[in-house]
Amino acid sequence: MTTISPPTRAQRSHRLPGSRIAYAYVAPFFAVFLAFSIYPWLDTAWVSLHEVRLSTYDQSTWLGLGNYVNLFSNPFFWNAFRNTVTIGVISTVPQLCMALGIAHLLNYRLRGRTFFRVAILMPYATSLAAATVIFLELFDSKLGLVNWALHLVHLPAVDWQGSRWPAQIAVSTIVTWRWTGYNALIYLAGMQSIDTELYDAALVDGANRWQQFRHVTLPGLRPTILFTIVVSTIGAAQLFGEPLLYHNGMPDGGTQGQYQTLGLLMYQQGWTNDRLGLASATAWTVFLVIVVAVLVNTTLARRRDRQGTLSSLAPKVRL
Amino acid sequence: MRRTPSRRRTTATSMAALTAGALILAGCSSSSGGGTTSSSATSDGPCGTKAATTLTVGLFGTFGFKENGLWDAYKKVCPNITVQEDVVEQSADYWTRLKTRLASGTGLDDVQAIEIGFVADVVQNHANQFVNWNSVPNAAADKAEFFPWKWGQASNAEGSVTVGLGTDIGPEAICYRKDLLAAAGLPSDPATLATKWSTWEDFIAFGKQYEASATKPKDSRFVDSAASIFSTAVYQGTEAYADASGKTDVANSDGVKSAWGYATQAAAAKVTAGLQQFSPPWNKAFSSGSFATIACPTWMMGYIQGQAGPTYAGKWAIAPVLPGGATNWGGSWLGVPKAAKNQAAAVALVQWLSAKDQQVTMWTSAKQGGHFPSNSHAAADSSVASATSAYFDNAPVGTLFGAIAGKMKVPPIGLYDTQIQNALTTQLTNVETKGTAPDKAFADALAAIKQVTG
């Protein structure tokens, strides 16, 4: 085995023309990235320090952190914040648990396995708008299928639009329905990368399927699970389309804001109420909330990793 | 052309909203459009130019120009002019786009429609970006043709600047289901109802009779929503959402106070169906019979026909009365941005479109959607007055709405009327469907309004 030594100065200068061309190749991406990510990002920060309306865009006044102060003392913000957290929890937790179970089942040799694997991805491929319209019909308080089913088993009808928890559950159902299959597929890929010898060894030791799942599959999947939790957290913090369409395209999240998320609040502030400064402050706050949430997730996971003994089984996903 | 179109969303536009939401982080340049000074139209003939020209006309919803054949007619008047429509479905989305274009000074159409929901904003913040209709050729003659209040809504307080020429207005009456009232054993002919519905108190009392009837359809209510009463009654005050200077004022408005009173009274009397106006369940109710009456500006006739369909022709009718006095709901204007490439030609087109003959056509043509003339000469025309509606049980809509348009009281309009009305009617839905106490609902509405006004 030969050791690779760092290139000498001569070798490096020899390679320079090539790397210049490489810069040219990546330049288009960075130009677009700069124009459509970095610039809006910084501009939003700047706008968030001003009182700005789109109608009088050239007459913005400096507020400093005024918009942020307004936001943190604003009941509409805290309502949206709470809703985002609760909808996030009641959509993400069942979603990931179900995805894990489905992936585990699909990992067995089933008849028609490919069919099932494609089928679980169908909701993800369905148009969000079309799906939400269907769910709106299902959850209709008067004529919906869900209340009809409740009636069959002699349960009282539920106001799936007007009451806070039922409405949040309904919105979460749409999210869960849409993303469970997607996560299941990611878990399935993770499971297939676990060494089959581990299962054989477990079998020899007399482990049943549940024990195999707990002691082989779960530990092997930990990096994958961490990845899906982070992605779902970001998705939950940005939740927008489902609750928007659930109230016929109005961003108020129900007549009492019962399912208004931070994404909807930001849209309402910016476009309905024409207060771009406040909306930008919300945008930045959401961004910081996401960063904090992801950091908490990964820190918790790392700490467990250090304490735990199982991590060596699985490859790491770098975040 | 409607007053609260932000309510009336479709799936497609919601998808557009998603895209717009993704763009919320994007800024836009703040350079203000310079614009050239108004050039004389007379030197280039009545069409504003002799060169072959394509004019773009920015509209929202259904204005009906194309449907009523006006573009083809203009082709005969000015063969060198081709008109191209640039339509956005929802007026709220249209307004956001117009604001963005006004802020950047680019991408503006030659003609831009302006709705009553944002005309005050255009007058206050963008008047210098639009052609002033007081300084175009034939300005005085133009002005003399319009209802003075209609001209005034698109003008500044001094009357020196006017940003658009009027298209339609929305004089209001009450539309009702004749068959449902008859089933309830109540009078159902327009003349009798006109005497029974002259005040909101009488209207609500009549509603209680309807609700008490044993023979009316079980799930049917008297009126579609408390919002229907509120959105009408609020414009019967001397003030609605703004004072005479155009400054937002909800707490001291007599219109808001009395309208809120009537609307919550109706909700307490349980004569309302509790539907959110322009929501899908509300749309369905036009044919299902969930309600028997609705406050009905002229453009609502088109809306009802679209939702209820031909099966219900003759079952709907119009009572020649508006409880509490005649008023207006909705209406639009056409303006010409100074940044428009073909300004003189655009001015000529707008003058032609808002002239008497064309407004008469818009109201009398077979496909008309309830566009009542804002041009008072057109409104007084005999063919406008003699118009009847077969769908609405042959109602004499011309004389009926003409009489209301002639005696309308129209309060000043303000910058945030649309959002304020949304906040208040949303809370009325809570009063109707959740039994929220009216005082609490009003406080919640004021809190939501504060989010808009800052």
pLDDT at A305: 62
Confidence label for A108 from pLDDT (cuts 50, 70 and 90): confident
User: How do residues A15-67 score in pLDDT, each as one tens digit?
Assistant: 556 678 888 889 999 999 999 999 999 999 999 999 999 988 888 899 999 99
pLDDT at B33: 35
Q: List alpha helices for A107-206, DSSP H.
A: 113-119, 122-125, 128-138, 145-152, 164-192, 196-204
pLDDT at B44: 77
Q: Residues, chain B, total?
A: 454
Domain residue extents for chain B: 42-169+330-385, 170-328+395-453
pLDDT at B145: 94
Same domain, A206 and A83: yes
CB contact under 8 A, B21 and A274: no
CB contact under 8 A, B15 and A129: yes
Same domain, A24 and A105: no
Judged against a pLDDT cut of 80, whether residue A190 lies above it is answered with: yes
> Cβ contacts of residue B185 below 8 Å, gap of 6+?
B213, B215
Judged against a pLDDT cut of 90, whether residue A169 lies above it is answered with: yes
Chain B residue numbers touching A40 (CB-CB < 8 A): 25-27
Same domain, A25 and A71: no
Beta strands in B110-181 (DSSP E): 111-115, 165-177
**Closest by Cα among A31, A274, A226 to B120:** A274
pLDDT at A297: 83
Give the side-chain half-sphere CA count within 13 A for A204. Answer: 6
CB contact under 8 A, B9 and A249: yes
Same domain, A105 and A23: no
Same domain, A106 and A251: yes
Helix B116-125 and helix B91-104, axial crossing angle in degrees, nearest 10: 10
Q: Cα B104 to chain center, whole Å? A: 28
Q: Are B47 and B345 in contact (CB under 8 A)?
A: yes
Same CATH topology for B42-169+330-385 and B170-328+395-453? yes
Kindly provide the ipTM of the predicted complex, given to two decimals: 0.85
Candidates A54, A58, A245; nearest CB to B100: A54
pLDDT at B252: 92
Same domain, A31 and A141: no
> Cβ contacts of residue B120 below 8 Å, gap of 6+?
B153, B242, B246, B413, B414, B415, B417
Topology, domain B42-169+330-385: D-Maltodextrin-Binding Protein; domain 2 (3.40.190)
Same domain, A101 and A31: no
> Cβ contacts of residue A75 below 8 Å, gap of 6+?
B447
Give B266→chain A minimum CA distance, Å: 19
pLDDT at A20: 81
Chain A residue numbers touching B276 (CB-CB < 8 A): 248, 255
Structural domain boundaries enclosing A229: 66-313
Q: How many CB pairs under 8 A join A and B?
A: 112
Give the side-chain half-sphere CA count within 13 A for B390. Answer: 8
Same domain, A225 and A289: yes
Same domain, A42 and A95: no
pLDDT at B35: 36
User: How do residues B391-418 score in pLDDT, each as one tens digit?
Assistant: 999 999 999 999 999 999 899 999 999 9
Same domain, A164 and A70: yes
Output the average pLDDT for chain A: 88
Same domain, A93 and A40: no
Same domain, A41 and A71: no
Look up the CATH number of the domain holding residue A141. Answer: 1.10.3720.10
Topology, domain B170-328+395-453: D-Maltodextrin-Binding Protein; domain 2 (3.40.190)
Which residues of chain B, if any, have pLDDT below 50?
1-41
> Cβ contacts of residue B447 below 8 Å, gap of 6+?
A75, A76
pLDDT at B45: 82
Q: Which amino acid is at A22?
A: A
Candidates B10, B103, B434; nearest CB to A54: B103
Phi-psi region of B284 (alpha: psi -120 to 50; beta: other; left: phi over 0): alpha
Q: For residue A304, is it within any domain?
A: yes
HEC profile for A202-254?
Answer: HHHCCCCHHHHHHHHHHHHHHHHHHHHHHHHHHHHHCCCHHHHHHCCCCCCCC
pLDDT at B62: 86
The whole-number average pLDDT for the span A261-271 is 96
Tokens of A293: 């949430």
pTM (predicted TM-score): 0.86
* Widest CA span in chain B: 72
* C-alpha to C-alpha distance for B373 and B401, rounded to whole angstroms: 10
* C-alpha to C-alpha distance for B441 and B326, rounded to whole angstroms: 28
Judged against a pLDDT cut of 70, whether residue A284 lies above it is answered with: yes
